[in-house]
Chains A and B, each alone.
Chain A
Amino acid sequence: GAGVSQSPRYKVAKRGQDVALRCDPISGHVSLFWYQQALGQGPEFLTYFQNEAQLDKSGLPSDRFFAERPEGSVSTLKIQRTQQEDSAVYLCASSLERFGQPQHFGDGTRLSIL
Protein backbone atom coordinates (compact mmCIF):
# COMPACT_ATOMS: atom_id res chain seq x y z
CA GLY A 1 0.00 0.00 0.00
CA ALA A 2 0.90 3.65 -0.14
CA GLY A 3 1.48 4.03 3.57
CA VAL A 4 1.53 2.23 6.90
CA SER A 5 -1.94 0.99 7.75
CA GLN A 6 -3.13 0.32 11.31
CA SER A 7 -6.36 -1.16 12.56
CA PRO A 8 -8.56 -0.66 14.38
CA ARG A 9 -8.34 3.13 14.51
CA TYR A 10 -10.07 3.14 17.92
CA LYS A 11 -10.46 0.34 20.45
CA VAL A 12 -12.37 0.38 23.72
CA ALA A 13 -11.96 -2.56 26.06
CA LYS A 14 -12.84 -3.40 29.62
CA ARG A 15 -10.07 -3.88 32.13
CA GLY A 16 -8.88 -7.46 32.04
CA GLN A 17 -9.74 -8.11 28.40
CA ASP A 18 -7.16 -9.03 25.77
CA VAL A 19 -6.69 -6.79 22.72
CA ALA A 20 -4.88 -7.19 19.39
CA LEU A 21 -3.66 -4.29 17.28
CA ARG A 22 -2.65 -4.74 13.65
CA CYS A 23 0.00 -3.02 11.56
CA ASP A 24 0.45 -3.40 7.81
CA PRO A 25 3.77 -1.75 6.85
CA ILE A 26 4.79 -0.24 3.56
CA SER A 27 5.46 -3.00 1.06
CA GLY A 28 9.12 -4.01 0.99
CA HIS A 29 10.02 -2.36 4.29
CA VAL A 30 12.28 -4.63 6.28
CA SER A 31 12.12 -2.79 9.59
CA LEU A 32 9.01 -2.42 11.71
CA PHE A 33 8.73 -0.54 15.00
CA TRP A 34 5.96 -0.23 17.60
CA TYR A 35 5.69 2.89 19.77
CA GLN A 36 3.36 3.91 22.60
CA GLN A 37 2.23 7.53 22.96
CA ALA A 38 0.67 8.68 26.20
CA LEU A 39 -1.44 11.83 26.25
CA GLY A 40 0.70 14.95 25.95
CA GLN A 41 3.95 13.02 25.43
CA GLY A 42 6.13 12.00 22.53
CA PRO A 43 6.02 8.42 21.25
CA GLU A 44 8.13 5.90 23.17
CA PHE A 45 9.69 2.77 21.70
CA LEU A 46 8.19 -0.63 22.46
CA THR A 47 9.70 -3.20 20.12
CA TYR A 48 11.48 -3.70 16.78
CA PHE A 49 11.35 -6.33 14.02
CA GLN A 50 13.73 -6.95 11.17
CA ASN A 51 11.72 -9.07 8.78
CA GLU A 52 10.17 -11.76 11.01
CA ALA A 53 12.81 -11.55 13.73
CA GLN A 54 12.04 -9.56 16.87
CA LEU A 55 15.48 -8.07 17.55
CA ASP A 56 14.60 -5.67 20.34
CA LYS A 57 11.76 -5.79 22.84
CA SER A 58 13.41 -3.71 25.53
CA GLY A 59 10.60 -1.14 25.54
CA LEU A 60 7.72 -3.50 26.28
CA PRO A 61 6.41 -2.38 29.68
CA SER A 62 5.41 -5.80 30.99
CA ASP A 63 5.07 -9.44 30.04
CA ARG A 64 1.43 -8.72 29.22
CA PHE A 65 2.65 -7.13 25.99
CA PHE A 66 3.49 -9.43 23.11
CA ALA A 67 4.27 -8.68 19.45
CA GLU A 68 4.75 -10.85 16.41
CA ARG A 69 5.47 -10.56 12.70
CA PRO A 70 5.38 -14.19 11.55
CA GLU A 71 5.84 -13.71 7.80
CA GLY A 72 7.91 -10.56 7.90
CA SER A 73 5.07 -8.30 6.80
CA VAL A 74 1.97 -7.69 8.92
CA SER A 75 2.61 -7.31 12.64
CA THR A 76 0.28 -7.70 15.61
CA LEU A 77 0.72 -6.17 19.04
CA LYS A 78 -1.22 -8.05 21.69
CA ILE A 79 -1.94 -6.86 25.19
CA GLN A 80 -3.24 -9.42 27.66
CA ARG A 81 -5.29 -8.67 30.77
CA THR A 82 -5.43 -4.97 29.94
CA GLN A 83 -5.03 -2.36 32.67
CA GLN A 84 -6.12 1.28 32.70
CA GLU A 85 -2.52 2.44 32.36
CA ASP A 86 -2.40 0.71 28.96
CA SER A 87 -4.67 3.45 27.59
CA ALA A 88 -2.62 5.26 24.95
CA VAL A 89 -2.12 5.62 21.23
CA TYR A 90 -0.13 2.77 19.72
CA LEU A 91 1.86 3.75 16.65
CA CYS A 92 3.52 1.50 14.12
CA ALA A 93 6.36 2.64 11.86
CA SER A 94 8.27 0.99 9.06
CA SER A 95 11.47 1.76 7.19
CA LEU A 96 13.44 0.25 4.34
CA GLU A 97 16.34 -0.56 6.64
CA ARG A 98 17.13 -0.42 10.35
CA PHE A 99 19.60 2.48 10.02
CA GLY A 100 20.00 5.35 7.63
CA GLN A 101 16.42 5.50 6.41
CA PRO A 102 13.42 7.53 7.61
CA GLN A 103 10.64 5.85 9.56
CA HIS A 104 7.10 6.22 8.25
CA PHE A 105 4.27 6.13 10.75
CA GLY A 106 0.72 4.84 10.58
CA ASP A 107 -2.25 6.77 11.96
CA GLY A 108 -2.15 4.78 15.19
CA THR A 109 -4.68 2.90 17.29
CA ARG A 110 -6.21 4.83 20.17
CA LEU A 111 -6.78 2.32 22.96
CA SER A 112 -9.06 3.15 25.87
CA ILE A 113 -9.35 0.78 28.81
CA LEU A 114 -12.45 1.25 30.96
Chain B
Amino acid sequence: GIQVEQSPPDLILQEGANSTLRCNFSDSVNNLQWFHQNPWGQLINLFYIPSGTKQNGRLSATTVATERYSLLYISSSQTTDSGVYFCAGRNYGGSQGNLIFGKGTKLSVKP
Protein backbone atom coordinates (compact mmCIF):
# COMPACT_ATOMS: atom_id res chain seq x y z
CA GLY B 1 0.00 0.00 0.00
CA ILE B 2 0.91 3.63 -0.28
CA GLN B 3 3.00 5.42 2.33
CA VAL B 4 2.01 8.88 3.56
CA GLU B 5 4.69 11.13 4.99
CA GLN B 6 3.84 14.36 6.77
CA SER B 7 6.21 17.14 7.73
CA PRO B 8 7.08 18.63 10.05
CA PRO B 9 6.00 16.19 12.79
CA ASP B 10 5.80 19.02 15.33
CA LEU B 11 5.37 22.75 14.94
CA ILE B 12 5.21 25.53 17.51
CA LEU B 13 4.00 28.95 16.38
CA GLN B 14 3.36 32.30 17.93
CA GLU B 15 -0.17 33.54 17.42
CA GLY B 16 -0.41 35.46 14.15
CA ALA B 17 2.33 33.52 12.36
CA ASN B 18 1.90 31.67 9.08
CA SER B 19 2.83 28.06 8.39
CA THR B 20 2.97 25.41 5.68
CA LEU B 21 2.36 21.72 6.29
CA ARG B 22 3.39 19.17 3.72
CA CYS B 23 2.15 15.72 2.79
CA ASN B 24 4.06 13.38 0.43
CA PHE B 25 2.68 10.16 -1.03
CA SER B 26 4.75 7.20 -2.21
CA ASP B 27 2.34 6.56 -5.09
CA SER B 28 -0.56 8.23 -6.89
CA VAL B 29 -3.60 8.84 -4.73
CA ASN B 30 -7.23 9.80 -5.10
CA ASN B 31 -9.66 11.33 -2.64
CA LEU B 32 -7.01 13.38 -0.84
CA GLN B 33 -8.34 14.99 2.33
CA TRP B 34 -6.93 17.23 5.06
CA PHE B 35 -8.26 16.95 8.61
CA HIS B 36 -7.80 18.81 11.88
CA GLN B 37 -8.03 16.72 15.04
CA ASN B 38 -8.75 19.08 17.90
CA PRO B 39 -7.66 18.51 21.51
CA TRP B 40 -10.99 16.80 22.19
CA GLY B 41 -10.25 14.18 19.54
CA GLN B 42 -12.76 15.32 16.94
CA LEU B 43 -11.58 14.79 13.36
CA ILE B 44 -12.78 17.75 11.33
CA ASN B 45 -12.81 17.89 7.54
CA LEU B 46 -10.77 20.79 6.23
CA PHE B 47 -10.44 20.07 2.53
CA TYR B 48 -11.32 17.43 -0.02
CA ILE B 49 -8.67 18.23 -2.61
CA PRO B 50 -7.65 15.53 -5.11
CA SER B 51 -5.97 18.24 -7.21
CA GLY B 52 -5.70 22.00 -7.54
CA THR B 53 -6.07 24.72 -4.93
CA LYS B 54 -8.86 25.55 -2.50
CA GLN B 55 -9.25 28.23 0.12
CA ASN B 56 -11.45 28.48 3.18
CA GLY B 57 -10.88 31.57 5.29
CA ARG B 58 -7.37 31.55 6.74
CA LEU B 59 -6.72 28.06 5.41
CA SER B 60 -5.82 27.00 1.90
CA ALA B 61 -4.58 23.79 0.34
CA THR B 62 -2.83 22.83 -2.86
CA THR B 63 -2.44 19.34 -4.30
CA VAL B 64 -0.04 18.57 -7.15
CA ALA B 65 -1.23 15.09 -8.02
CA THR B 66 1.41 14.46 -10.70
CA GLU B 67 4.17 15.06 -8.14
CA ARG B 68 2.33 13.23 -5.34
CA TYR B 69 2.24 15.93 -2.69
CA SER B 70 -0.14 18.31 -1.02
CA LEU B 71 0.37 21.47 1.05
CA LEU B 72 -1.80 23.04 3.75
CA TYR B 73 -1.29 26.75 4.44
CA ILE B 74 -2.39 28.33 7.70
CA SER B 75 -2.24 32.11 7.81
CA SER B 76 -2.54 34.39 10.86
CA SER B 77 -2.63 31.37 13.17
CA GLN B 78 -4.84 31.40 16.27
CA THR B 79 -4.66 29.36 19.47
CA THR B 80 -7.76 27.47 18.30
CA ASP B 81 -5.73 26.14 15.37
CA SER B 82 -3.79 23.94 17.81
CA GLY B 83 -4.16 20.19 17.39
CA VAL B 84 -3.00 17.54 14.96
CA TYR B 85 -3.33 17.94 11.20
CA PHE B 86 -3.69 14.78 9.13
CA CYS B 87 -3.64 14.23 5.41
CA ALA B 88 -5.05 11.06 3.92
CA GLY B 89 -5.57 9.57 0.49
CA ARG B 90 -6.88 6.52 -1.27
CA ASN B 91 -4.64 4.32 -3.38
CA TYR B 92 -5.23 5.43 -6.99
CA GLY B 93 -6.63 2.65 -9.12
CA GLY B 94 -7.03 0.36 -6.15
CA SER B 95 -10.26 -1.40 -5.33
CA GLN B 96 -10.20 -0.34 -1.71
CA GLY B 97 -12.05 2.81 -0.76
CA ASN B 98 -10.44 3.37 2.61
CA LEU B 99 -8.21 6.33 3.37
CA ILE B 100 -4.57 5.88 4.35
CA PHE B 101 -3.42 8.45 6.88
CA GLY B 102 -0.08 10.01 7.66
CA LYS B 103 1.19 10.26 11.24
CA GLY B 104 0.11 13.89 11.43
CA THR B 105 1.66 17.26 12.23
CA LYS B 106 1.14 18.38 15.82
CA LEU B 107 0.64 22.15 15.87
CA SER B 108 0.81 24.26 19.00
CA VAL B 109 -0.08 27.96 18.69
CA LYS B 110 1.07 30.06 21.64
CA PRO B 111 -0.72 33.28 22.66
What residues of chain A have their CB less than 8 Å away from a CB belonging to chain B? 31, 33, 35, 41-45, 48, 56, 58-59, 89, 91, 93, 95, 98-105, 107-108, 110
Contact = CB atoms under 8 A, between A and B. Distances in A.
Interface of B: 4, 30-31, 33, 35, 40-43, 45, 48, 86, 88, 90, 96-104
Given A56-B96, A102-B33, 9 more contacts: A42-B88, A42-B102, A43-B88, A93-B99, A102-B45, A103-B33, A103-B99, A105-B43, A107-B40
Contacts of B42: 107-108
B101 A42 contact: yes
A89 to B, nearest CB: 6
Contact of A45 (B31, B35, B43, B98): B98
A33 B98 contact: yes
A105 B35 CA distance: 10
Contacts of B43: 43, 91, 105, 107-108
A70 B19 CA distance: 45
A107 B101 CA distance: 17
